[in-house]
Structure 1
Amino acid sequence: MPKFRKATTAERTAIAEKLVKAREEAGLLHRDAAQQLGISPSVLCAVEQGQRRIDVAELLVLARLYGKRLSWFEPKGRDPGDTAKERG
């Protein structure tokens, strides 16, 4: 079974920046979002700073809380077909 390609630093940074923007657009402070997620504000801060990786299930929970679709977090400039092209 092929291994998944890990996200690049640039991709993780772009997603982290979008998480901050999405939370702010939702009108939530760190402590409020963290409370609704059942995590500590420091964990959310680490995610938003790109210091803690999250999986797609966690991203989905965040997206729902912030009222965004998963595709909204896709880093700009990345063609969704790139993954298929990389596999050959």
Structure 2
Amino acid sequence: MEKTLASARHRALIEFLIEQRQAAGITQAELATRLGEYQSFVARLESGQRRVDVVEFLAIAEILGFDAAAALRQLAEA
């Protein structure tokens, strides 16, 4: 199994999350605050330096207002 960081699916996930955050009109700092984290946490996620775990993904989906299950189905095809 290949490393997940920098894999095609990981890049697709990161691109998707950035697009969703921008579409919601939320800055990295605002998302971080709502997650109870620092802005650097979101920056590391979006730069691909850190993985997104399932619980974080669900929280981000809730904050940004997208369907987590539908997003995973879409990303599975990437």
The reply to whether TM is greater than 0.5 is: yes
Deviation for aligned residue 1:77: 3.1
**Percent of aligned pairs sharing the same letter:** 31
Give the corresponding residue for 1:72: 71
**Which protein shows a greater Rg?**
1
Q: Normalized against structure 2, the TM-score is what?
A: 0.82
1:63-82 deviation line (CA, Å, top 9, x unaligned): 0100001122532635xxxx
- Highest relative contact order (Cα 8 Å, sep 6+), 1 or 2? 2
Aligned-residue CA RMSD in angstroms? 2.0
Q: Which has the higher helix share?
A: 2
Deviation for aligned residue 1:27: 0.7
Contact 1:19 1:48 in 2 (8 A): yes
* Structure 2 gap ranges (5+): none
Match 2:42 to one of 38, 41, 44: 44
Give me the whole-angstrom Cα distance separating, in 1, the residues matched to 2:27 and 2:53: 22
* Structure 1 gap ranges (5+): 79-88
SS in 2 for 1:75: helix
Runs (4+) off by over 3 Å: 5-8
More displaced 10-residue stretch of structure 1: 6-15 or 57-66: 6-15
Q: Normalized against structure 1, the TM-score is what?
A: 0.73
| Alignment partner of 1:30 is 2:11 | no
Aligned residues: 74
Give the corresponding residue for 2:10: 12
Give me the whole-angstrom Cα distance separating, in 1, the residues matched to 2:4 and 2:54: 12
